[in-house]
Amino acid sequence: ANAFPEADELKIYISADSKIYPSEVLLRSMAKTISLTPIRDYLQNYNGSVYSITINVKDSSFSNGSFFQILSTFKNDAEENSTLKFYGIYKKNGKPVGYLTNPNPGTELEEKFIKVNLKFYKPQKNAGRAIQFEKNSSFSFLLNKFPDENLLAEFWLRTSDSGQDILSVKNIETDQREFLLTLNDFQMLYTRIENASLLFSAPYFLGRKTWSHISILFSAEKNSVSLFCSGNLFAKIKLTSLLSVGKYEFAFSSEYGNKNYSIDLLRFINLKNTIDVSFSNKNFNNFNSDSSTVIAAFKFDDQLPQTIEKENYSVKVENLQYIKSNAPIFARAPELNIDILTNAYELIWSGGDYKQADSYTLEKSMNNSGFQSLYKVHADNSTPADYSFIDAKELEAEIVYYRVKQINLDGSVVFSAQLKVGQGESEPLVLAQNFPNPFNPKTNIELELLEDSEVDITIYNLEGQEIVKLFKGQLAKGVHKFTFDGSGLPSGIYLYKVSTPSFNTTRKMVLTK
């Protein structure tokens, strides 16, 4: 909206890398949409190159209090991640009367730009196919029994047009639609509700013909639904009917002849982790979790039958269009581990998405210099396999790094996480800060064991009194996550201590009610 009613124009400057430039700019209001031409320009006291557009805010379409939207389409020749920057000046008779800037601007002009980080990716064959909804297309998933705790529904969404209904969620027992996931005329994703209560709403903008990941978390305990787009919460709903009772229908459909949207990698999960597990698995076909289980997953590489009947769910489809997908779904990187021997390191890795891999190259870097190839092996695509290589210790290097480069059959490349090996004695475990922190009433405590060990996890108050023994027993090498529930405790600072036979460490956490 026009924050400066006295202004007669708004000039917006756009700064980007040399390989990114605006090709089309649309100005959209409730009344009309007009095309603007970006021009190369100069901004005093700014060193970067800029484009600019000028908006006549005295146009009757932009009356006081009305909203308008600027939609920019960019051409991109860049392959690396980049940044777009925006800065606006409201003017009256050519003189500034206000600014469109970063909410927390510094003193330098560069610090006043609104910055947007861009991430680019190269589509992989791993994405396979997606389904496109056109007129009279539909996909209905009927869940016969709701999980005891949480249900996660997640999928990739690509919209070509604004003003569309995407997903309807309905309680079949009560014949009541709980909510409708909708894209409005301004390309803002939001929820329409009928009988439920809207606890939170922050409509989320979806770019045309770009993929966004949708995560919908149903909590049986709270009888609520939280909706996320690309990891950002945009709606929270309190339901009137109980989630634990009844059958639920998830229906995707399209009623428009000239509009369409696509989805890929649709999954329904019996979730026993936090919502973060959805975000960490969104780019991969296989869903990795230590405690959650997949109820149903649809990749759409093969055409679905019109009906599917399973013990806990059924599916009905009609008039689906199968298209080549360019969603950001990648081959999972291999997982690299190390065993420290007397005079050598044994590097062991498993093959990630082994069916997509062509070869693996073990790479090494000393003291954070460039990586060099150490060992190469062709991938076994027929079955999951472990690979290993023994490398002599480099006594002259303080730190050695290892990683595995996986070259896929389509030529794409993914890397394992780097392993950092120091020459001094290493601690047997790594304890992360609890998350969230502060918390109310639950928080997660995560630790990584570098070797199998007896582990003791204890919660204390600041007086040193033991509150609860969270865990005591044998754990295998790897990452482990525990949940602490402070429901019966007063607000305050608490300590969590993790002990092994040879090591212990303690961290603080804050319970806020």
CATH number, domain with residue 315: 2.60.120.200
Identify the domain boundary among 324, 348, 377: 324
Are 383 and 438 in a shared domain? Answer: no
* pLDDT for position 105: 79
Instruction: Tell me the torsion sign for CA atoms 388, 392, 393, 394.
Output: negative
Are 14 and 136 in a shared domain? Answer: no
Confidence band, pLDDT 50/70/90 cuts, at residue 314? very high
Judged against a pLDDT cut of 60, whether residue 366 lies above it is answered with: yes
Instruction: Tell me the torsion sign for CA atoms 16, 20, 21, 24.
Output: negative
What does the pLDDT average to over 178-201?
Answer: 94
Identify the domain boundary among 289, 324, 359: 324
pLDDT tens for each residue of 418-437: 988 875 556 778 899 999 99
The larger pLDDT score, comparing residue 321 to residue 18, is at 321
Judged against a pLDDT cut of 80, whether residue 242 lies above it is answered with: no
Burial annotation 342-376 (CB, 10 A radius, 16+ → b, else e): eeebebebebbbbbbbeebbbbbbeeeeebeeebe
Among residues 450, 459, 456, 458, which one has the least CA distance to residue 474?
456
CATH label of the domain that carries residue 346: 2.60.40.10
Range of the domain at 294: 125-324
Residue 492 lies in a domain: yes
What does the pLDDT average to over 383-409?
Answer: 89
* pLDDT for position 63: 61
* pLDDT for position 425: 57
Are 272 and 348 in a shared domain? Answer: no
Tokens representing 313 are 């769910």
How far is 232 from 215, CA to CA, in rounded Å?
9
The larger pLDDT score, comparing residue 106 to residue 302, is at 302
pLDDT tens for each residue of 265-291: 999 999 999 999 999 999 999 898 888
Are 162 and 308 in a shared domain? Answer: yes
Strands 150-159 and 261-271 come out as antiparallel
Confidence band, pLDDT 50/70/90 cuts, at residue 398? confident
Judged against a pLDDT cut of 90, whether residue 96 lies above it is answered with: yes
Judged against a pLDDT cut of 90, whether residue 480 lies above it is answered with: yes
Residue 330 lies in a domain: no
Are 173 and 272 in a shared domain? Answer: yes
Residue 150 lies in a domain: yes
Q: How many CB atoms lie within 10 A of CB 29?
A: 17
pLDDT tens for each residue of 73-90: 888 876 678 889 999 999
Residue 329 lies in a domain: no
Judged against a pLDDT cut of 80, whether residue 395 lies above it is answered with: no
pLDDT tens for each residue of 127-169: 999 999 999 999 999 999 989 889 999 999 999 989 999 999 9
Are 225 and 360 in a shared domain? Answer: no
Through-space distance between the first and last CA atoms of the chain, rounded to whole angstroms? 37
* pLDDT for position 48: 87
* pLDDT for position 1: 64
Are 145 and 246 in a shared domain? Answer: yes
Confidence band, pLDDT 50/70/90 cuts, at residue 24? confident
Are 495 and 377 in a shared domain? Answer: no
* pLDDT for position 79: 67
Percent of the chain's residues with pLDDT above 70:
96
Residue 484 lies in a domain: yes
Cβ–Cβ < 8 Å for 503, 486: no
Are 460 and 507 in a shared domain? Answer: yes
Confidence band, pLDDT 50/70/90 cuts, at residue 237? very high
227 residue type, one letter: L
Are 195 and 252 in a shared domain? Answer: yes
Exposure on the CB side of residue 112, measured as CA atoms within 13 A: 15
Residue 4 lies in a domain: no
* pLDDT for position 306: 96
Judged against a pLDDT cut of 80, whether residue 61 lies above it is answered with: no
* pLDDT for position 119: 84
pTM of the full structure: 0.76
Identify the domain boundary among 387, 422, 457: 422
How far is 235 from 232, CA to CA, in rounded Å?
9
Among residues 127, 20, 152, which one has the least CA distance to residue 73?
20
Are 341 and 314 in a shared domain? Answer: no
* pLDDT for position 22: 86
Residue 396 lies in a domain: yes
CA distances (Å), origin 373, targets 8, 42, 121, 345, 353: 62, 47, 25, 16, 21
Confidence band, pLDDT 50/70/90 cuts, at residue 484? very high
Judged against a pLDDT cut of 70, whether residue 13 lies above it is answered with: yes
Radius of gyration of the chain (CA): 27
Of the listed ranges 207-211, 396-400, 464-468, 470-474, the one predicted with least confidence: 396-400
* pLDDT for position 62: 65
Residue 343 lies in a domain: yes
Instruction: Tell me the torsion sign for CA atoms 352, 354, 357, 363.
Output: positive
Tokens representing 471 are 């865990």
Among residues 381, 377, 376, which one has the least CA distance to residue 409?
381
Confidence band, pLDDT 50/70/90 cuts, at residue 383? confident
* pLDDT for position 426: 60
CATH label of the domain that carries residue 458: 2.60.40.2550
For the chain, the domain total comes to: 4
Are 269 and 415 in a shared domain? Answer: no
- What average pLDDT does the structure give for the chain? 90
Confidence band, pLDDT 50/70/90 cuts, at residue 353? confident
Locate all alpha helices (DSSP H) within 271-422, ordered by sequence: 276-281
